[in-house]
Structure 1
Amino acid sequence: MSDSGHTRRRVLGAGGALAGLVTLSGCGIFGDDHEPPAGPDPLRPVLDEALALAAAYDRVVLADQTLSARLTPMSQAHRAHAAELARVIGTTLPSAAPTAAGADNTVAGLRTAELAAQKTAAAACKAAPAARAALVGSIAAARASHAEALR
């Protein structure tokens, strides 16, 4: 025991508690985290369009079964793109696909939607970091090729 009445155990215990408190305060548990919350992922619009395109293809096929062999592979490609985008973003796919307002359930409507979605993907590709650019670039190319196939 020292002259001040503190034992070595008390001093070490207090020091350990203080170190633990400093550690906890450093991880933001006390609300002093000054980082703003992250916004939506910039690839989210590309993901949403992939899901909307797949659903649009399904609607056109439902309206005209003779188009199934031609359109189903493109619908499946959009679903594959959506699955990979969801993996990269770190999200799960929604159970219901978004639908475009006033979507035209014709092959011409699909072509128009593909061209618009291709522009979104191309813009996202230009803004994406290198690790994501290849994926988004391939999606933009697929959308452009789908639009040409729908001529």
Structure 2
Amino acid sequence: MRTSKTGPTRRRLLIAAASAPALAGCDAEPSPPPPPDPLQPLLDEALALAAAYDRAIAADPGAGARLAPLAADHRAHAAELTKVINPAANPSSARSAAPAAPASLREAEQSAQRTAVAACMAAPADRAALVGSIAAGRATHAEALR
């Protein structure tokens, strides 16, 4: 049954009415943001470790020659991780209250190395080399602090 000779059929009107709620979904809330990148904890640790070394150097300037290269390594790791995680972003300046004493730095390095090893095991092939390199660097730092 037509509503008019040139207008839509009853069937077309019913189909249009039934699809209206589906079209209204376009105005629904946006989807939630994607989960954080799995390498974000490594980036956060790299920044925290660099800050911890800076505090240790400030507390004992004589240790600067020994500790500054390790802090620089962590900054380099942070820069590379930032490139992989979000190429348009700069490393955040978020700093945690990581310890500053050499013994505490060694413990922080060991903990961060365990995190990096776990991340390396779970990382896809295109990220595994970077994460493995970071894990090796952290292990080396822990030994250098003996």
| TM-score normalised by the chain length of structure 2 | 0.76
Q: Distance in 1 between matches of 2:131 and 2:35?
A: 19
Q: Distance in 2 between matches of 1:42 and 1:31?
A: 31
**Structure-to-structure mapping, 1:33-44, within 5 angstroms:** 37-44=33-40
Q: Distance in 2 between matches of 1:36 and 1:132?
A: 25
Q: Which residue of 2 aligns with 1:141?
A: 136
Q: CA RMSD in A?
A: 2.2
> Is 2:125 aligned against 1:127?
no
Count of aligned pairs between the two proteins:
123
Q: 1:47 aligns with which of 43, 60, 73?
A: 43
**Structure-to-structure mapping, 1:17-28, within 5 angstroms:** none
Output one character per residue of 1:43-102: Cα deviation in whole Å (capped at 9) or x when no partner. 0000000000000000000000000000000000000000000010003211x33213xx
Q: Which residue of 1 aligns with 2:91?
A: 93
Contact 1:41–1:89 (8 Å) recurs in 2? yes
Q: Distance in 2 between matches of 1:35 and 1:105?
A: 42
- AA in 2 matched with 1:69: A
Q: Which residue of 2 aligns with 1:64?
A: 60
Stretches of structure 1 lacking an aligned partner (at least 5 in a row):
6-24
Identity %: 60
Q: 2:145 aligns with which of 141, 144, 150?
A: 150
> Is 2:107 aligned against 1:112?
yes
Cα shift at 1:37: 3.7
Contact 1:51–1:98 (8 Å) recurs in 2? yes
Q: Distance in 2 between matches of 1:107 and 1:38?
A: 38
Secondary structure of 2:81's match?
Answer: helix
User: In the superposition, relative to structure 1, how do residues 129 and 106 fare at CA in structure 2: closer, same or farther (>3 Å)?
Assistant: same
- AA in 2 matched with 1:53: L
Q: Which residue of 2 aligns with 1:19?
A: none
Q: Distance in 2 between matches of 1:137 and 1:112?
A: 19
User: In the superposition, relative to structure 1, how do residues 92 and 31 fare at CA in structure 2: closer, same or farther (>3 Å)?
Assistant: farther
